[in-house]
Amino acid sequence: MMYWVQEMVGQEGRYTLDNFAQGHAALGFEPVYMLNMITKDLDDQLGQLRRARDLGMPVRYVELGNEYFFGPGAEPLVHDRYPTPIDYIRDANRWAAAIKAKFPEALVAVIGSESESPSVSERRRTWNAQIAPHVGSDIDAVTYHPYAGVALVDAPRESHWGNEAVQRRQRELLADPKAVQFMIGVPADDFTHLRAKHASDFDRPLALWLTEFNCNDWHGGVRHTWAQGLALISQYHAFLEEPGVQLLNLHNLTGGVLFTAMHPEAGDTFRGVTAASPPSVKPQSPTAIGLVTAVFGRAANGMKRAAAIDFRPEAAFETPRGAMVELVGGWVFFRADGIDGRNAVMFNLSPAAVSADLAALNLAASGYERWSTDPSRYVGDASTLRTLGKVGDTFDLPPYSLVLITAGAD
């Protein structure tokens, strides 16, 4: 069990299966269950899955643990239970077989590691290579947590906030379109590397479950700006381009200011910003990353397939590791194989306005919502970025904009 999870055990307000079931009944989300293989045994966790089913939730996606690749200094309990990655995968195969015997519809994922940095432990660097030869036939997927660092500066972490000099440098860089473009490219660059590593490490096709991801700034000068939202647009676009991605789960809907998709009730999202004057916050409204996630979620909800929109193939750039990043593009989401019931997301991640020809997309007269502002702007109330209108055969995408089109919407 991770040390930050241990701190939550016994606290009031923690999530329970009953609480989770209430959310599922109200919202209809697809549950993903992360099992505790460290301080609980297989029978206990099978019992928890049965209880989830009895509460009316499907048991379709099951993760076998979380980030057990950390070394003994970081997670001694994990290391005591699984001294080596091979110890983990042998147990994971046994658990997967038992889960599928009781829940034949379930898909089961094992832990993967995306890091090859010399700064991390050997256990973490070699995790995939050690488990790959032993992955059994009951394993369907590998989980990854691709966090993209978009801080624009290389400075030591000081908790969740940088000092004024660091934040001031971040704010200066956000005024430079080239720096913003670099930042937008980071998620795609990282994910291109992850895709290649995954394909190389495992000798049979295994789906990618991205069960945690986000665009991170540990200093505060970029965090919850529109630029961070633009980087997340690029990240979602990269994920959608990879057919092997089966599951996405943003970290985190609510919680600490570092990752949250919703402004906290206290309205203190920007409490550590010292190099600028951020706006007032509308509590429990979307942050920049929450807004972007909501737009993609609304477009994809209930849809069966997606197709990329290629507006401006020349509006792209190549990252240092060879990722091609589209600055202007989008996706159309379909309910079925036909043309009815479609939604679309479009984006312009460049500093220049773009006019797009939408005649072939059969979206004329649909309603649209559009969000656009300067990349350096802190987003305290996302509704202030929003404009509404009707789609014609041509459509204007302002600089640094995101658009949601819902077919038939007023």
Q: Which of the residue ranges 174-183, 215-224, 309-318 would you say has the lowest mean pLDDT?
A: 309-318
206 vs 131: CA distance, rounded Å:
13
* Per-residue pLDDT tens digits for 84-130: 999 999 999 999 999 999 999 999 999 999 988 888 999 999 999 99
Q: Which residues of 110-126 are buried (b: 16+ CB within 10 A; e: fewer)?
A: bbbbbbeeeebbebbbe
113 vs 124: CA distance, rounded Å:
6
Token digits for 283? 């509590």
Calculate mean pLDDT across residues 21-33.
Answer: 94
Is the pLDDT at 368 greater than 60? The verdict is: yes
Cβ atoms within 10 Å of 201's Cβ, excluding its own: 17
Is the pLDDT at 339 greater than 90? The verdict is: no
Q: Which CATH architecture has domain 3-299?
A: Alpha-Beta Barrel (3.20)
Token digits for 130? 């050690």
What pTM does this model have? 0.95
Tell how far CA 349 is from the center of its chain: 18
The pLDDT, as a whole number, for residue 287 is: 97
* Per-residue pLDDT tens digits for 204-261: 999 999 999 999 999 999 999 999 999 999 999 999 999 999 999 999 998 788 999 9
Q: Which of the residue ranges 211-215, 314-318, 382-386 would you say has the lowest mean pLDDT?
A: 314-318
Percentage of the chain exceeding pLDDT 90: 79
Domain range list for the chain: 3-299, 303-406
DSSP 302-369: T--EEEEE-S-TTSEEE-TTS-EEESEEEEEEESSSSSSS-EEEEEE-SSS-EEEE-GGGT-TT-EEE
Is the pLDDT at 357 greater than 70? The verdict is: yes
Whether the CB-CB separation of 370 and 398 falls below 8 Å is answered with yes
Calculate mean pLDDT across residues 379-404.
Answer: 93
The pLDDT, as a whole number, for residue 4 is: 57
Mean of the per-residue pLDDT values of the chain:
92
Q: How confident is the model at residue 338 (pLDDT cuts 50, 70, 90)?
A: low
| Cα angle, residue 188 at apex, residues 395 and 228 outer, rounded to 5° | 70
The pLDDT, as a whole number, for residue 410 is: 45
In the block, residue with structure tokens 């290391």: 79
Identical fold, 3-299 and 303-406: no
Q: Which of the residue ranges 31-40, 305-314, 363-372, 377-386 would you say has the lowest mean pLDDT?
A: 305-314
The pLDDT, as a whole number, for residue 260 is: 94
In the block, residue with structure tokens 């007269």: 365
Q: How confident is the model at residue 47 (pLDDT cuts 50, 70, 90)?
A: very high
The pLDDT, as a whole number, for residue 342 is: 85
Cβ atoms within 10 Å of 12's Cβ, excluding its own: 4
Q: Which of the residue ranges 11-15, 83-87, 96-100, 347-351 would you say has the lowest mean pLDDT?
A: 11-15
303-406 fold: Immunoglobulin-like (2.60.40)
* Per-residue pLDDT tens digits for 60-95: 999 999 999 998 877 889 999 999 999 999 999 999
Is the pLDDT at 298 greater than 90? The verdict is: yes
The pLDDT, as a whole number, for residue 255 is: 79
The pLDDT, as a whole number, for residue 286 is: 97
Which residues make Cβ contacts (< 8 Å) with residue 331, sequence separation at least 6? 237, 240, 299, 306, 307, 308, 309, 344, 345
